[in-house]
Amino acid sequence: MQSTAADGLVRLHNHGSHGQALPPDRDDPLYARLAYSTHTDPTTPGAEPDNHFGPLVQDADGKEQLTRRGSHTPLGSGPGWAASAHRPLLGDTVLPGVGVTSVTLARGAVEVRIHRVVGAPPDSSVRQSGWATNSHMVSELRPLHGFDREVTSVAGGSTA
């Protein structure tokens, strides 16, 4: 948990809770995201997920599909950091041999999210999303390393 006095935000970096059992092809936005805050809401089911990282996998039609986080294993936490690992899912299928380790470093209003993907094909893509904000809030997501595509803003749809 992290808070900043300047903006009154309290953030929970989720590297330990993954919620209840769901149908295998659904995510639970109240448990599966990397972070939650007192001033933002998760996007509704069917919308682009907020605070999510996942490999993109091509379906039979060649369209990229975002994997989901599903169940994750806590790896540790301490003042200003938390880490977890998960096996990405596409629908109800675990991607064979693919694993993601995620670490969040937090200091003040700044968060650094580091992800290591192993076992994915070398030309694989990933997607990282940030906070689902309203018109009165500002959130900025900047790639630091490992992203070779232009950064885009994706509408997240309505929030919960």
First to last CA, the chain: 21
Domain segments of the chain as ranges: 2-128
Residue 66 Cα distances to 39, 47, 58, 69, angstroms: 26, 12, 9, 10
Cβ count near 56 (within 10 Å): 16
Q: What is the gyration radius of the CA atoms in the chain, in angstroms? A: 15
Query: In this predicted model, what pLDDT tens digit does every residue of 47-86 receive, in sequence order?
Result: 788 888 999 998 778 888 899 887 788 999 999 999 999 9
pTM of the model: 0.85
